[in-house]
Amino acid sequence: MAGCGVRWQYILGAALSGALLLTAGILLGHYAIYKEPQTPEWLHSLSRDLDPALLEDFMNQVEAARIGQNLKDLSSKPHMATTKGDEELVQLILKAWRDPQTGLDSAMEGQYEVFLSFPDPEKPNSVAVVMENGSQAFISQETEKNLTADQADRDVVKPYAAYAPPGNPKGKLVYANQGKMSDYEYLVQQGIDLNGTIAITRYGGAGRADKAINGAKFGVVGVVVYTDPGDINDGKASATETYPYSWYLPPSGVERGSYNSHFGDLLTPYYPAKGEEKRLLPDITGIPPIPTQPIGFEDAKTLICNLAGNPVAEAAWQGALGCVYHLGPGFRQDGLFPNSRLPSNMCPSIFAKFLLLPPLDRYVLYGNHRDSWVHGAIDPSSGTAVMLEISRVLGKMVKEGKWRPRRSIIFGSWGAEEFGLIGSTEYTEEFYSKLQQRSVAYINVDIAVFANATLRAQGTPPAQSVIFAAVKTPAADSSLSVYENWKQHFSRNSSVYGVIPSLGSLGAGSDYASFIHYLGITSMDIAYTYDRSKTSARIYPAYHTAFDTFHYAETFIDPGFTSHQTVARTAGNVLIRLADALILPLNVSDYGETLQQMYSVAREAFQADLTHHNISLDPLWAAINRFQAAAAGLNQRIANLREEANPSPLDVRMVNDQLMLLERAFLNPRAFPEKYYYSHVIMASRSSSLATFPGLADAYDNAKEDGLWGEVHKQLTIVIQVIENAASILEPVAE
Amino acid sequence: MAGCGVRWQYILGAALSGALLLTAGILLGHYAIYKEPQTPEWLHSLSRDLDPALLEDFMNQVEAARIGQNLKDLSSKPHMATTKGDEELVQLILKAWRDPQTGLDSAMEGQYEVFLSFPDPEKPNSVAVVMENGSQAFISQETEKNLTADQADRDVVKPYAAYAPPGNPKGKLVYANQGKMSDYEYLVQQGIDLNGTIAITRYGGAGRADKAINGAKFGVVGVVVYTDPGDINDGKASATETYPYSWYLPPSGVERGSYNSHFGDLLTPYYPAKGEEKRLLPDITGIPPIPTQPIGFEDAKTLICNLAGNPVAEAAWQGALGCVYHLGPGFRQDGLFPNSRLPSNMCPSIFAKFLLLPPLDRYVLYGNHRDSWVHGAIDPSSGTAVMLEISRVLGKMVKEGKWRPRRSIIFGSWGAEEFGLIGSTEYTEEFYSKLQQRSVAYINVDIAVFANATLRAQGTPPAQSVIFAAVKTPAADSSLSVYENWKQHFSRNSSVYGVIPSLGSLGAGSDYASFIHYLGITSMDIAYTYDRSKTSARIYPAYHTAFDTFHYAETFIDPGFTSHQTVARTAGNVLIRLADALILPLNVSDYGETLQQMYSVAREAFQADLTHHNISLDPLWAAINRFQAAAAGLNQRIANLREEANPSPLDVRMVNDQLMLLERAFLNPRAFPEKYYYSHVIMASRSSSLATFPGLADAYDNAKEDGLWGEVHKQLTIVIQVIENAASILEPVAE
């Protein structure tokens, strides 16, 4: 009942200074270096294939201890994008890539000026409960408790919701579960007036920004977000059950994060953010319209366990705070805050850096972001530690004259991923034609090791074959091959291959997003992850908190760094195959299986309604059949070419270009004009829960509501066109 | 004053039957045919360059008489798209391309179902004057007078305005000059109430459809269009001064045409029109909203010379009908129709066909449309006659074993160009990825000979170098080289080369439009044309009328077909160079000159206002400088490569890909969302009269009206981005 004071602080720099730094290392491809007249020395080099001994050499040289040392160096200090810690890592990585013994051919950095969001270090945000008499009955903790010294580092950023607006809202507290639209609707159905309330929500279920965007639609004026121990800690909530005693998140841990549902620099969609003269200032969408603040579950418990309201929240809404969750609004009279109101927040400004330039005219791209929220030992330094070990071994092999790849390899250390994949997106915007015309594939290793149980790979279908080839050797610490272990953890029944490991599909969760969705470059993401029979944690518990430290990583995530080593070997093996195989190891036939699967789902779910509206799926089926036949035909031609002793370099190049450019044929930049960047008709994001063609599925859902079946027809046409277009890329060029 | 009856007739087929037929001939490229093991036989073939003797052989074999015979065969019957005459030509062309002695490797046809517009042959449209008492004082002629027997052919389509709606409007007649917005505004300023009037306009100044689209905005209910002898006949208007006594248009000649301001099938923008299931039914724009009818100047004279109104039309509006033009409204009391009103029209339905499939993975495309409005001897059969002669000679050289091109050559005979470049556009929609990834260039020869005075070539800047190289030999009937003769007729002062022939820029007037604007393929259009000191005709006078016959062509346009022969030699020479040169003969540096020129125009015209709005052109200038340096660098690397005795085939391929793909880097499909197809940022259409960056120029003009300088900033950013992107394509790939 009584008013409650809340402090909102922010810095929204009016000037856009600072810059996003990215570093890149390049290993030049081979064939350009020979230029002999009479005796064409290139004759051999153009037809040689990948040497298995080389792969073995690489695998043997990857050292777990070096990865561990990399990780220690990378995560010794907090290194949010554009901070001093980040800039120090730029220098560390550049030094590695310029090392005379193990460096690459060149390494460089570049800058974009982008819009980032930082809190005021002097005025931490808070969520407070203020009594009717004006006294403050509760205030959220400024930051994590100092448990292992790392948390006391003065560069630890205090918890905030990046890109949320500043403000000082007051209102009664309600518990809104995960902040989904359906959650707010449920509260309204329970007779709760959400106008003017503050909603407390737990992470999960909806994107970070969506919790606030959804709430605002119902009149909510502020959002508090916390991590429920039921979602992250397998229910463990006490100090002695959590880090540093286990991998679980301590009660004071707060997940930071970007509350931005788009990717790329918000101020310059589609255009590289380079210099004031190019700033486009579009209407910014996809960020919270109301103040938002993340807190730890220790504080959340104080708030939620004192909520009033009947009935209690339904079973699915209950978490593991150790009390029965009520919905509110407001606190119960017999609790800690009988006459009080609530909440809190803060906000944003600026920057980071990045860049590279590409070499020989076929590129294999490998990247990871460099910036973290705090020390970021797992996210992202585990991936960077792996990348540095891969580049070290490859650099060494080249410096020793043992080898030079057929195609150029470009390593990228992207900036400001945490704020919305910004560095990698700006990079693709600046070099879109070059990358589209010349890139064979993009390999992303962000968090290399979530946990040390099994490989987890995601990618578009052509990535499956090269990843499978790379993992059919035993893992570092096991007699079981990575492949077999993976299959034991995640498998599926393929209509083509029988039971095989399940390759996941790519969303937009890391830097591969603009490569696949915007440029149509075959992409993949590789990591080690959980044994799901042992934990149901939404993600590793220290994620985006001040507890994601080297100590945490070496103690609980991957003692001995053997899983890191396995990821390094796997990703490096994939990289070498893509860079060095005479014929690209991408099996485009695997797209046929995916398309067929998507078709089956669509037919099962949509056929009846479509028929009712005179829309036939037959042409889609015909297009898929044509694609499958074209892919099979190409595979046959490739098999024939492999049998030739001295295939013409241009015959080889021709099939390689078909393999490389197939993914581009699935792009249609006009297919989803309302979705920034998403141009890949088969792999775009979707609202529908059905794993089928995204545009079709979403148009179908909409038509069920609004009756606009013309849009369904249009999206079906778009899918048919790209599949036929893709088929024509694979068909014999002289047919 | 009195009502006036008008008949409106049309067929708008509800069913979309019929199909657009296109034929294509393919000459497979070379390198794929060698597959030897031990001794790589491809070794020689991959490094050989274009043989000058081959070019000479080609030039010698091109025969004027054969072109004449081709033209006679092609134009013996009317052959509008999808009519019987058109289908006969499909067979004729397929037969030529399948000839065992002179045919190509393969030839095929394909179909699109598209939306065309035809009149009812039984009920010709008319424009009539009806008196107050209901009697008909005048009715326009059904079709041209029969002067050379050709006009009596029962397949001559009676004059109509394709895509204009049917209707039967009545109203007072006004003379609206060329039907531009400014023309209608001028009439309103003269105190004339245009509501409910019929406007008579002359061809020229505004697009066909625009005359009606503009008029409708002022309340005009019907539009009559005629060809003024002052615009087409150098003032000659009597029967004895015109065809068959000269090349001038007879008084009864009526220019037919498509009143469609877009291109491609109106029902399926961006998607190939293949089968009912893909019909998207968008809102159709760009066609007349009111009935419209073309008439000859004999009838126009009767109408215009009897108009009332004071003052008389201003000097620029006067034509050569032989009377003083008044503005109306209505007829004067002392004229033929003292108490009367006016007008007329008709309308549309369906179809045609087309297609091909491409071979080896680099294509040189050559095409022309096949369909005409009537006999179409000049438009388009002159071009097709030339194409068949080129394909005959090349086919013969291949069949004789003398030669096989390094790159595949694809000839296309497009359907339904006259209705809006439909066949070629649908083709690019169906094969967009394939064509974009593999096409070296597109050569268009539509009307091969407008007149026999000089070459006239249009194209994007890289086309200049290959066209110049091809024309530095004497023309068929002259000791002067084609180049020198061209320079005498059209020259410009280049900042790089001094005085050279002037290469025109491509608009969207023929089938190259979707290749350059939609797919970003380097394109060019080649023809022979007028001596402008001898005629001011808007176009050759029989254009789109029943007088565009073989007799007309051989008598007045190109007796002996020597200009046709020169065009065949020129276009064939260009084609051979593009198909066979080891390194593509496209000088991308020439883009630098064009960009610099556009920049100068922009700076001169916009700088002051831009500075006032804090928009700087400096980054644009910097981007152009970067482009120029990159192009110069590439040219130097090419020069070095040419000196190598045995360059690596992949080194050659790499620079060729840079040359080929440069044009693609100028595309941004999001740059002009409101302009169908136009994605080429440098070459898109513009409303501004300034020869500079089109998006920037139009945004500037708009900002001067509406103050939206943000859009100017955005368009400037877009231009800078594509130029930098293009520069990065030309820069060393390993830089």
Would you state the structure tokens that stand for residue B285, as one six-digit string?
Answer: 């724009």
CATH assignment, B116-349: 3.50.30.30
Whether chain B has a CB inside 8 Å of the CB on A497: the answer is no
Of the listed ranges A337-351, B234-248, B473-487, the one predicted with least confidence: A337-351
Would you state the structure tokens that stand for residue A43, as one six-digit string?
Answer: 């004759």
A9: three-class secondary structure by DSSP: strand
**Helix, strand, coil in percent for chain B, rounding step 5:** 40, 15, 45
CB contact under 8 A, B664 and A31: no
- Across the interface, of A36, A649, A710, the residue whose CB is closest to B650 is A649
Say if residues B620 and B612 touch (Cβ distance below 8 Å).
Answer: no
Residue A650: list chain B partners with CB under 8 A: 31-32, 42, 46, 649, 653
For strand B128-131 and strand A408-414, is the pairing parallel, antiparallel, or unpaired?
unpaired
- Distance from C-alpha of A374 to C-alpha of A544, rounded to nearest angstrom: 7
- Distance from C-alpha of A608 to C-alpha of A404, rounded to nearest angstrom: 57
Whether chain B has a CB inside 8 Å of the CB on A713: the answer is yes
User: Distance, in angstroms, between A416 CA and closest chain B CA?
Assistant: 22
Query: Of the CATH numbers 3.10.290.10, 1.10.10.10, 3.40.630.10, 3.30.1050.10, which one belongs to the domain with range A48-115+351-580?
Result: 3.40.630.10
**Averaged pLDDT for residues B241-245:** 95
Burial class of residue A622 in the structure, from the number of CB atoms within 10 Å of its CB (0-12 exposed, 13-18 middle, 19+ buried)? middle
Structure confidence at residue A25 as a pLDDT band (50, 70, 90)? low
Among residues A536, A511, A535, the alpha carbon closest in space to that of A523 is found at A511
- Distance from C-alpha of B570 to C-alpha of B463, rounded to nearest angstrom: 13
Among residues B300, B419, B397, B306, the alpha carbon closest in space to that of B352 is found at B419
Give the list of residues 6+ apart from residue B84 with CB closer than 8 angstroms, or none. Answer: B155
- Express each pLDDT in A377-427 by its tens digit: 999 999 999 999 999 899 888 888 888 888 888 888 898 889 889 889 988
- Distance from C-alpha of B721 to C-alpha of A429, rounded to nearest angstrom: 9
Among residues A478, A541, A610, the alpha carbon closest in space to that of A235 is found at A541
Say if residues B118 and B350 touch (Cβ distance below 8 Å).
Answer: yes
Whether chain B has a CB inside 8 Å of the CB on A269: the answer is no
CA angle at residue B25 from B22 to B26, to 5 degrees? 135
For strand B340-341 and strand A345-347, is the pairing parallel, antiparallel, or unpaired?
unpaired
What is this model's ipTM?
Answer: 0.83
Burial class of residue A13 in the structure, from the number of CB atoms within 10 Å of its CB (0-12 exposed, 13-18 middle, 19+ buried)? middle
Give the list of residues 6+ apart from residue A681 with CB closer than 8 angstroms, or none. Answer: A666, A667, A668, A671, A693, A694, A695, A718, A719, A722
Of the listed ranges A138-142, A596-600, A730-734, B652-656, the one predicted with least confidence: A730-734
Residue A658: list chain B partners with CB under 8 A: 361
pLDDT for the residue A49: 83
pLDDT for the residue B24: 64
Q: Tokens 């950095």 sit at which residue?
A: A109
Residue of A nearest to B435 (CA): A729
Asked if residue A16 has pLDDT above 80, the reply is no
Among residues B582, B573, B585, the alpha carbon closest in space to that of B394 is found at B573
CB contact under 8 A, A646 and B431: no
CA angle at residue B408 from B407 to B414, to 5 degrees? 140
pLDDT for the residue A45: 72
CB contact under 8 A, B725 and A647: no
- Distance from C-alpha of A445 to C-alpha of A422, rounded to nearest angstrom: 16
Would you state the structure tokens that stand for residue A306, as one six-digit string?
Answer: 């004192």
Would you state the structure tokens that stand for residue A584, as one six-digit string?
Answer: 């690209």
Of residues A44 and B514, the one with the higher pLDDT is B514
pLDDT for the residue A360: 67
> How many helices (H) does chain A have, and how many strands (E)?
21, 21
pLDDT for the residue A358: 31
pLDDT for the residue B58: 87
Asked if residue A642 has pLDDT above 70, the reply is yes
Is cis: bond before A229, omega within 30 of 0? Answer: no
Asked if residue A96 has pLDDT above 80, the reply is yes
Helix (H), strand (E) at residue B189: helix B181-189
- Express each pLDDT in B123-166 by its tens digit: 888 898 888 777 888 999 999 999 999 999 999 999 999 988 88
Amino acid at B446: D
- The DSSP line for B556-579 is II-GGGHHHHHHHHHHHHHHHHHH
- Across the interface, of A651, A653, A718, the residue whose CB is closest to B650 is A653
Rounding to the nearest 10 degrees, give the CA dihedral for residues B694, B697, B702, B704.
180
Domain ranges of chain A: 48-115+351-580, 116-347, 589-730
Amino acid at A399: K
CATH assignment, B60-113+352-580: 3.40.630.10
pLDDT for the residue B33: 38
pLDDT for the residue A477: 61
Residue B618: list chain A partners with CB under 8 A: 277
A357: three-class secondary structure by DSSP: coil
Give the other-Cβ count within 10 Å of B532's Cβ.
13
**Averaged pLDDT for residues A304-318:** 91
- Across the interface, of A271, A360, A734, the residue whose CB is closest to B733 is A360
- Distance from C-alpha of B735 to C-alpha of B733, rounded to nearest angstrom: 6
Judge whether A48-115+351-580 and A589-730 match in fold: no
CB contact under 8 A, B37 and A618: no
- Distance from C-alpha of B309 to C-alpha of B329, rounded to nearest angstrom: 6
Structure confidence at residue B28 as a pLDDT band (50, 70, 90)? low
Residue A716: list chain B partners with CB under 8 A: 277
Helix (H), strand (E) at residue A297: helix A297-304
CB contact under 8 A, B669 and A664: no
Structure confidence at residue B109 as a pLDDT band (50, 70, 90)? confident
pLDDT for the residue B357: 31
Asked if residue B657 has pLDDT above 90, the reply is yes
Whether chain A has a CB inside 8 Å of the CB on B43: the answer is yes
Fold of A116-347: Glucose Oxidase; domain 1 (3.50.30)
Looking at B370-453, which runs of residues are DSSP E strands?
A: 408-414, 439-444
- The DSSP line for B514-544 is IIIIIT---EEEEEEE--TTT---SS-TTTT
Residue numbers of A between 616 and 635 with CB closer than 8 Å to B: 616, 618-619
- Across the interface, of A46, A361, A728, the residue whose CB is closest to B431 is A728
For strand B257-258 and strand B8-10, is the pairing parallel, antiparallel, or unpaired?
unpaired
For strand A161-162 and strand A222-226, is the pairing parallel, antiparallel, or unpaired?
unpaired
Among residues B343, B9, B285, B293, the alpha carbon closest in space to that of B166 is found at B9
The residue of A433, A440, A613, A621 whose CB has the most chain B CBs within 10 angstroms, and thus the best one to mutate to test that interface, is A433
Of the listed ranges A554-558, B95-99, B435-439, the one predicted with least confidence: B95-99
A417 catalytically annotated: yes
Residue A31: list chain B partners with CB under 8 A: 648, 650-651
- Express each pLDDT in B160-183 by its tens digit: 999 888 888 889 999 999 999 999
**Averaged pLDDT for residues A185-199:** 95
- Express each pLDDT in B291-333 by its tens digit: 999 999 999 999 999 999 888 899 999 999 999 999 989 888 8
Fold of A589-730: Transcription Elongation Factor S-II; Chain A (1.20.930)
- Residue B211: φ, ψ to 5°: -60, -40
DSSP code at position B335:
S
pLDDT for the residue A275: 63
